[in-house]
Amino acid sequence: SKMTVKAVKMPCTSANVYTKVPDGGWGWTVAFAFFVVEALTYGIIKSFGVFFNDLMESFDETNSRISWIISICVFVQTFTAPLSTVLSNRFGHRLVVMAGGLLVSTGMVIASFARSVVDMYVTIGIVSGLGYCLSFLPTVTILSQYFDKRRSLVTAVASTGECFAVFSFAPAITALKEQIGWRYSMLSVGVLQLGITACGSLLRPIVIREQEEVKAHPPEESTETKYMLENEQTCTSIESIDSGVDITTSPSNVPGKTKAEPKSEEPKQHGQNPVENNSTPPEPKTKLLDFSVMRDYSFICYAFFGLFATLGFFAPSLYIIPLSRSLGIGKDHSAYILSAMAIAEVFGRIFAGWVLNKKPIRKIYIELICVILLSVALVAFPFASGFWGLMICSVYFGFMLGTVAGTHIPLLAEDDVVGIERMSSAAGVYVFIQSLAGLAGPPLAGVLVDTTKNYSSAFYSCAAGMVLGAVFLALVRPCKTGLCHHQQQQQQVEESMAGPPPELPDDFIDMDIGKAENSGKGSDSV
């Protein structure tokens, strides 16, 4: 029978149970929640550059020391990713995201009353950073579980929330600062981030249970007649069927030449629906954190790609406004440049999701091309001059950033990396490895700016990291195919040395029944 997508209606606090990955349903609500969470997490982080000059003037600090605020925040967010995975597997995604929203809002509100940059390190860096981790990672993980065929497209479109946030928040916060100052503007942002808690309440867990197959018997056909027909085809007795022994018939004896397998092995071998059974097998225990992904060489290469590529994710949006100001561009026009970058990133994310949704296509190679083009965009910034030069570079960078930033975590669910089964643990470990680059990236760019007195050096450091990331990304697919092929060759060698297993003839049932009859006659004669 054809398996349909049917959700079991349950209370809001219960899980959504589907017979297969729904590719929709409540997943659209989860996608909307992820859109808002993206806007209130990464959107705020990328818009933090509008406070950069205000913090330098208020606290009388250098570029590098102010950069440590976002650096510590990104480090805590990525370093605590395994903790987010463990808590999500233990308490569920909903409670973890709601708790993360409270931490994000609390840290930002307290930061508005900070009297030194060290206070910012604690409030935004540690408190909000931990909240960002607990909010973002569980949301993108559960969204990937609701979609299969549309996963790349839906995730890319939903991730545009941060782009719309940068587009709207940067000019809005800039205008708000002129009216009420940067402190009350930051306080307003913190109150707005309470919306993450509301989004967390929408994250219903999902359970995939294969639909049970129910055999419909004709009402006019009696049970005995049915067994007699089976006897003519399989040469077995009614007693052998009534005893509960599953008999495997040959393909030539079954109409349509479909081989009937034992019930316990049928779903594994043919991917069919499990036969209805009175006893429910115990559900396997879910590991809180599976570090077995660290033995996968393709995942290791992909993790190093994320490590170095992170250098180019945050620094450009953090330094684009100071760079434009150093070129004599006004505050309003500088905010427009950041907004244009955000709008271009929206189209980049949608374009990447649309391309990766095409089949057949090797998604890892598309990601590699986008990373290489993103490296070119970073190198182009130092050669820009004037408002329109920076605008063109920002639009190009934003588009290419969207193609990479919106897909690099969901690609963990692809078989070229780890697969959907280990996606939750792999995402935690992957983001954890990114923490080192998140900690070192912005301060490294700040030190280079303070040393060279030129903001172009920050973009060169980002480009260098992105190029290294492209090298490791290029090794992901060869590691996966090379190791798997090598393992298959070893298995074939072992099987050839052990010898092929004996093949059973098609009429082995008749042979077994004949042996049983002969043994019965022998016992009677004795």
Provide the domain limits for residue 38. 16-211
Which range is least confidently modeled, 62-66, 154-158, 211-215, 476-480?
211-215
CA distance 117 to 119: 5
Residue 518 lies in a domain: no
Burial of 111 (0-12, 13-18, 19+ CB in 10 A): buried
Same domain for 166 and 22: yes
Looking up tokens 């594994």, which residue turns up? Answer: 268
CA distance 310 to 391: 23
Number of domains the chain is built from: 2
H runs (alpha helix) in 114-237: 117-120, 129-146, 151-158, 161-192, 195-200, 223-234
Residue percentage of the chain with pLDDT more than 90: 13
Q: Which of 132, 136, 79, 85 is nearest to 106 (CA)?
A: 132
Both structure tokens of 298: 């393709």
- Give the domain-ending residue among 168, 185, 211: 211
Same domain for 183 and 331: no
Residue 160's pLDDT is what?
Answer: 82
CB 16 within 8 Å of CB 206 = yes
Residue range 293-325, pLDDT digits in tens? 777 788 888 888 888 888 777 667 777 878 888
Same domain for 116 and 21: yes
Q: Average the pLDDT over 131-158 and give the result.
A: 84
Same domain for 477 and 356: yes
CA distance 516 to 500: 27
Cβ-Cβ contacts under 8 Å for 169 (sequence gap 6 or more): 43, 44, 47, 50, 189
| Phi, psi values for residue 160, rounded to 5° | -70, 0
CA distance 340 to 321: 12
Residue 321 lies in a domain: yes
Residue 494 pLDDT exceeds 70: no
What band does 511 get if pLDDT is binned at 50, 70 and 90? low
Same domain for 168 and 65: yes
CA distance 13 to 17: 13
Give the SS3 label for residue 286. Answer: coil
CA distance 165 to 175: 15
How many helical (H) and strand (E) elements, i.e. helices and strands, does the chain have? 23, 2
What band does 108 get if pLDDT is binned at 50, 70 and 90? very high
| Cα dihedral: 325, 329, 334, 340 (round 10) | -130
Residue 255 pLDDT exceeds 50: no
Residue range 55-86, pLDDT digits in tens? 888 888 887 788 888 888 888 887 888 888 88
- Give the domain-ending residue among 211, 230, 258: 211
Q: Flag whether the pTM goes above 0.85.
A: no
Residue 221 lies in a domain: no
Looking up tokens 């590991």, which residue turns up? Answer: 287
Cβ-Cβ contacts under 8 Å for 325 (sequence gap 6 or more): 53, 331, 334
- Give the domain-ending residue among 211, 227, 253: 211
Find the CATH number of the domain harbouring 309: 1.20.1250.20
Residue 315's pLDDT is what?
Answer: 67
E runs forming strands in 203-253: 206-208
CB 76 within 8 Å of CB 178 = no
Q: Which of 402, 399, 420, 401 is nearest to 411 (CA)?
A: 420
CA distance 2 to 4: 6
Same domain for 300 and 185: no
Give the C-alpha distances (Å, rounded to integers) separating 324 from 71, 168, 312, 391, 452.
Answer: 21, 19, 18, 10, 17
Tell me, what DSSP letter sits at residue 15? P
Name 18's bridge partners.
208
Computed over its alpha carbons, how large is the radius of gyration of the chain?
30
Amino acid residing at 369: I
Residue 416 pLDDT exceeds 50: yes
Residue range 22-46, pLDDT digits in tens? 777 888 899 999 999 989 998 888 8
Give the SS3 label for residue 26. Answer: coil
Q: Average the pLDDT over 425-434 and give the result.
A: 76
